[in-house]
Structure 1
Amino acid sequence: MGNKDISKDVLSSINKKTGKKISENEVKKLASGVTAETMQSEAELRKLIKQVSTMAKVPVAESTVNDIVKAVKASGMNMNSMETLMKMMMKK
């Protein structure tokens, strides 16, 4: 599966699950500020999760934030692991 396919699948899944319409441009704008350091820093990662939550207008429980942070850190930022993580999150 190519990156474009997974990106569209993720966006479509988010829109379906939240019942809210998030544009590809909104996601790109947010993603443009994400760096490897963002994923390494727990504070930055938490900030990113909150930004996504706000953009999607979907509250995220602190326990869920903790689970996401733990999963991202455990993945070691391997892109295959990140794709697997995204697929897992889409199924929740």
Structure 2
Amino acid sequence: MSRNIPKDALNAINKKTGKNITESAVKKLASTVKPTTMQNEDQLRQLIKQVSAMANVPVSESTIKDIVSAVKKSGMNTQSMESLMQMMMKK
């Protein structure tokens, strides 16, 4: 994913959540993510919970399991992660 968060994606997230999430807040959280984060289920779960809290959107355990599974299946391909983000924004 590019370093610049597309404004339309951020606007869609803010519209869907009803919360004003800033680009700097997303970048701050993203800066804590390392390649190992996506391969460690506990760290990945923690990241999902942090994003959930930032967006003020509750995430069920089954949704967390689905996200973890999708991330593991993606193989950390940048294109796959962008597709995953788009899929999640449609829900």
TM-score over 0.5 (shorter chain): yes
Shift of 1:85: 0.8
Q: Equivalent residue for 2:42?
A: 43
Structure having the higher helix fraction is 1
Shift of 1:65: 0.6
Which secondary structure state, in structure 1, belongs to the residue aligned with residue 59 of structure 2?
A: coil
Matches of 1:43 and 1:87, distance apart in 2 = 24
For 2:70, the aligned partner's letter is: A
Q: Equivalent residue for 1:80?
A: 79
Matches of 1:73 and 1:9, distance apart in 2 = 26
Which secondary structure state, in structure 2, belongs to the residue aligned with residue 77 of structure 1?
A: coil
TM-score in terms of structure 1 length: 0.90
For 2:32, the aligned partner's letter is: G
CA RMSD of aligned residues (A): 1.4
Matches of 2:84 and 2:8, distance apart in 1 = 14
Alignment deviations for residues 50-91 of structure 1 (CA, whole Å, 9 cap, x no partner) = 001111111111111111000000000000111111111111
Give the 4+ runs in structure 1 shifted more than 2 A: 6-10
Which ranges in structure 2 are unaligned for 5 or more consecutive residues? none
Shift of 1:10: 2.4
Fraction of identical pairs, as percent: 67
Matches of 2:79 and 2:15, distance apart in 1 = 24
Which ranges in structure 1 are unaligned for 5 or more consecutive residues? none
Query: How many equivalent residue pairs?
Result: 90
For 1:35, the aligned partner's letter is: K
Shift of 1:29: 0.5
TM-score in terms of structure 2 length: 0.91
Matches of 2:12 and 2:63, distance apart in 1 = 18
Q: Equivalent residue for 2:14?
A: 15
